[in-house]
Structure 1
Amino acid sequence: MRKLFFKMIGLKRNLPLVVILGSTGSGKTKLSLELAQKFDGEIVGADSMQIYKGLDISTAKATPQEQSVAPHHLIDILDPHETFTVTQYRNKALNVIQDILDRNKLPIVVGGTNYYIEALLWKILIDNDQYVNTHGILPHNEHELPSEVLHQKLKDLDPKMAMRLHPNNKRKIIRLLLNIILKIFVVCCILSLLF
Structure 2
Amino acid sequence: MAFRSAVGSKLPLVIIMGATGTGKTKLSLELAQKFQTEIISADSMQVYKGLDVVTAKASPAERELVRHHLVDVLEPHQRFTVVDFRNRTLKIIQELTDKGKVPIIAGGTSYYIESIVFHNLVEGEDNSDELLWDKSIRKREIDAAGPSADEPACKKAANSPEDNDNGVQVTNDPITIEITDEFDQERVKYEMDHEHLLTNEQIHRRLMTIDPVQADKLHHNNRRKVLRSIEVWQKTGRRHSDILEEQKLTEGLLRRPGATVMLWLKCEESVLEERLDARVADMMEKGLVKELLDFHDTYNKQRLKNGTEADYTKGVFQSLGFKEFHKYLIMGEEQRQTEEGQKLLHECIEAMKLGTKRFARRQTKNIVPWFLERDRRHREVPAIYELDATDLSEWDTQVKGKAIHIIQSYLNQDPCPFYLARSRPKEDEAKPNPFGKHHCEVCQKIIIGDNEMKIHLNSNKHKKTLQRRKLEENTETIHRSKDN
Please indicate the TM-score interval, normalised by the length of the shorter structure.
0.5 to 0.7
Deviation at 1:184, TM superposition (A): 4.8
Matched, 1:192 2:396: no
Residues 20 and 186 of structure 1 are in contact (CA less than 8 Å); yes or no, is this contact kept in structure 2?
no
Task: Indicate the SS of the match to 2:65.
Answer: coil
Residues 50 and 61 of structure 1 are in contact (CA less than 8 Å); yes or no, is this contact kept in structure 2?
yes
Residue segments in structure 2 that go unaligned for 5+ positions in a row: 127-246, 252-366, 374-379, 387-401, 410-484
Question: Counterpart of 1:132?
Answer: 125
Q: Which amino acid aligns with 1:187?
A: Y
Over 3 Å counting, the alpha-carbon distance change for 1:142 and 1:36 in structure 2 is: closer
Q: Which amino acid aligns with 1:101?
A: T
Matched, 1:46 2:238: no
Q: Distance in 2 between matches of 1:99 and 1:111?
A: 20
Task: Indicate the SS of the match to 1:93.
Answer: helix
Question: Counterpart of 2:57?
Answer: 61
Task: Indicate the SS of the match to 1:34.
Answer: helix
Q: Distance in 2 between matches of 1:140 and 1:122?
A: 12
Task: Indicate the SS of the match to 2:91.
Answer: helix
Question: Counterpart of 1:156?
Answer: none
Identify the range of structure 1 (54-63 vs 82-91) with the bigger mean alpha-carbon deviation: 54-63
1:111-163 deviations in Å (ceiling 9; x for gaps): 00000000111122x12xx1339xxxxx95267xxxxxxxxxxxxxxxxxxxx
Deviation at 1:194, TM superposition (A): 4.7
Residues 42 and 107 of structure 2 are in contact (CA less than 8 Å); yes or no, is this contact kept in structure 1?
yes
Deviation at 1:74, TM superposition (A): 0.7
Equivalent in 123, 126, 139 of residue 119 of structure 2: 123
Deviation at 1:10, TM superposition (A): 3.7
Matched, 1:179 2:393: no
Q: Which amino acid aligns with 1:11?
A: F
- Within 5 A, what are the aligned runs for 1:1-195? 10-13=2-5, 14-124=10-120, 126-127=121-122, 130-132=123-125, 140-141=248-249, 177-180=369-372, 184-187=382-385, 190=403, 192-195=406-409
Over 3 Å counting, the alpha-carbon distance change for 1:183 and 1:33 in structure 2 is: farther
Q: Distance in 2 between matches of 1:43 and 1:68?
A: 12
Residue segments in structure 1 that go unaligned for 5+ positions in a row: 1-8, 134-138, 144-174
Residues 110 and 370 of structure 2 are in contact (CA less than 8 Å); yes or no, is this contact kept in structure 1?
no
Q: Distance in 2 between matches of 1:183 and 1:75?
A: 29
Residues 18 and 186 of structure 1 are in contact (CA less than 8 Å); yes or no, is this contact kept in structure 2?
no
Residues 39 and 68 of structure 2 are in contact (CA less than 8 Å); yes or no, is this contact kept in structure 1?
yes
Task: Indicate the SS of the match to 1:187.
Answer: strand
1:148-183 deviations in Å (ceiling 9; x for gaps): xxxxxxxxxxxxxxxxxxxxxxxxxxx955421798
Q: Which amino acid aligns with 1:54?
A: G
| Percent identity for Structure 1 against Structure 2 | 44
Over 3 Å counting, the alpha-carbon distance change for 1:94 and 1:30 in structure 2 is: same
Q: Distance in 2 between matches of 1:108 and 1:123?
A: 19
1:72-117 deviations in Å (ceiling 9; x for gaps): 1011100110001101110000001111111121210010000000
Residues 2 and 94 of structure 2 are in contact (CA less than 8 Å); yes or no, is this contact kept in structure 1?
no
Could you list the structure 1 runs, at least 4 aligned residues long, displaced by more than 3 angstroms after superposition: 175-178, 181-184, 188-192
Q: Distance in 2 between matches of 1:110 and 1:79?
A: 21
Q: Scaled by the length of structure 2, what TM-score is found?
A: 0.28
May I ask how many residue pairs the two structures share in their alignment? 148
Larger Cα Rg: Structure 1 or Structure 2?
2
RMSD: 2.8
Deviation at 1:24, TM superposition (A): 2.2
Q: Which amino acid aligns with 1:82?
A: Q
Q: Which amino acid aligns with 1:120?
A: I
Greater RCO, 1 or 2 (C-alpha within 8 Å, sep 6+):
1
Residues 18 and 24 of structure 2 are in contact (CA less than 8 Å); yes or no, is this contact kept in structure 1?
yes
